[in-house]
Amino acid sequence: MSGMTLSQAPKRQLKSHRIADELRAMIADGRLGPDSPLPSERLMAARMGVSRVSVRAALQELKAEGFLDARRGSGTRVVSTVQTLETPLLALVKGRPENFSDLLELRALLEGWAAARAARQGTREAIEEIGKIVRVMERDRYFRHATDNDLAFHMAVAKASGSIAYQHIVAVIRQTLAKIVSHLHGELHEQADLERQILDQHRAIFEAIHDKNPERATAQMTAHLLTSLFLSPISPHP
């Protein structure tokens, strides 16, 4: 946020509202992504040329709207999950085959689109980050970190897509997504051949994105995710 400045606005508008508008714009265009930390009130006030009181009022406005969350020890951050959606969504898919299947199909459609967009528009750095995660997966010979690596891979594809809207959607359902990924690898426990198959699928997705081939990226991602449709639903009990 080194380029933070307060844009011009009518003088009659409260400074705190102008600051809040500026922060909303930064969230909307990706300068502040999900879970991004904000500078201290003192630093923000200095950069914007306003008082800390105005900054504090703007932050309170955005917290009330659900954009920001403040936690002791970690400061103020852009919201990365929305509990009012997260909890009911997970409850809907637990133990309900039809809802579970619907969510997996929707995920395949959305992530297939994201993979294609990453292939078309992903930066070299963002695509290389996907490649790094694949190499980490390859070194995890006994699949001890399969769930964490799998989730990291799909979050990296979301980032490489360059779509701020999509990244926020993924952030909202991140905990449900993590449950699905954990469930997948739990179902594959001690099935090394199937874990290797999933690794091969991740590698194929990365190669399609790296080769800037959106059609192949979509096909590989969709095929990979539809594999999950053959799983049993997530248990309604923890």
CATH number at residue 19: 1.10.10.10
Give the CATH number, domain containing residue 197: 1.20.120.530
Per the model's pLDDT, the better-predicted residue between 33 and 216 turns out to be 216
Nearest to 97 by CA among 235, 238, 237: 235
Express each pLDDT in 89-115 by its tens digit: 777 777 677 887 888 888 899 999 999
| 158 in the same domain as 54 | no
| 179 in the same domain as 198 | yes
Assess whether pLDDT exceeds 90 at residue 154: yes
For residue 68, what are the β-bridge partners? Answer: 78
Assess whether pLDDT exceeds 50 at residue 83: no
Separation of CA 229 from chain center: 22
DSSP 88-107: HHHHHHTT-HHHHHHHHHHH
What is residue 77's three-state secondary structure? strand
E strand intervals along the chain: 68-71, 75-78
Question: What pLDDT score does 213 carry?
Answer: 98
| 87 in the same domain as 73 | no
| 104 in the same domain as 151 | yes
Q: Choose from 61-70, 82-91, 126-135, 156-165 the range with maximum mean pLDDT.
A: 126-135
Has residue 72 been placed in a domain? yes
Has residue 235 been placed in a domain? no
| 135 in the same domain as 122 | yes
**Cβ–Cβ under 8 Å, residues 115 and 208:** yes
Q: Which domain holds residue 184?
A: 83-230
Q: Which of 24, 49, 78 is the last residue of a domain?
A: 78
| 124 in the same domain as 211 | yes
**Cβ–Cβ under 8 Å, residues 170 and 89:** no
Has residue 66 been placed in a domain? yes
Has residue 5 been placed in a domain? no
Question: What pLDDT score does 91 carry?
Answer: 72
Has residue 2 been placed in a domain? no
Has residue 158 been placed in a domain? yes
* 172-114-3 Cα angle (round to 5): 70
Average pLDDT, the chain: 83
| 100 in the same domain as 126 | yes
Has residue 23 been placed in a domain? yes
| 217 in the same domain as 109 | yes
| 160 in the same domain as 102 | yes
Does the CA dihedral 197-203-208-211 come out positive or negative? negative
Residue 11 binned pLDDT confidence (cut-offs 50, 70, 90)? very low
**Cβ–Cβ under 8 Å, residues 115 and 221:** yes
pTM assigned to the model: 0.68
The position carrying tokens 């194929």 is 204
What's the token pair of residue 29? 């265009």
| 162 in the same domain as 207 | yes
Express each pLDDT in 178-235 by its tens digit: 888 887 777 766 677 888 889 999 999 999 999 999 999 999 999 998 877 666 666 6
Least confident interval from 76-80, 82-86, 105-109: 82-86
Residues 6+ apart with CB under 8 A from 205: 115, 157, 217, 220, 221, 224
| 149 in the same domain as 132 | yes
Question: What pLDDT score does 210 carry?
Answer: 98
DSSP 5: -
Q: Which of 36, 55, 78 is the last residue of a domain?
A: 78
How many structural domains does the chain have? 2
- Mean pLDDT, residues 31-38 taken together: 83
The CA-atom distances, in angstroms, between 221 and each of 5, 47, 128, 148, 201 are: 40, 43, 17, 18, 8
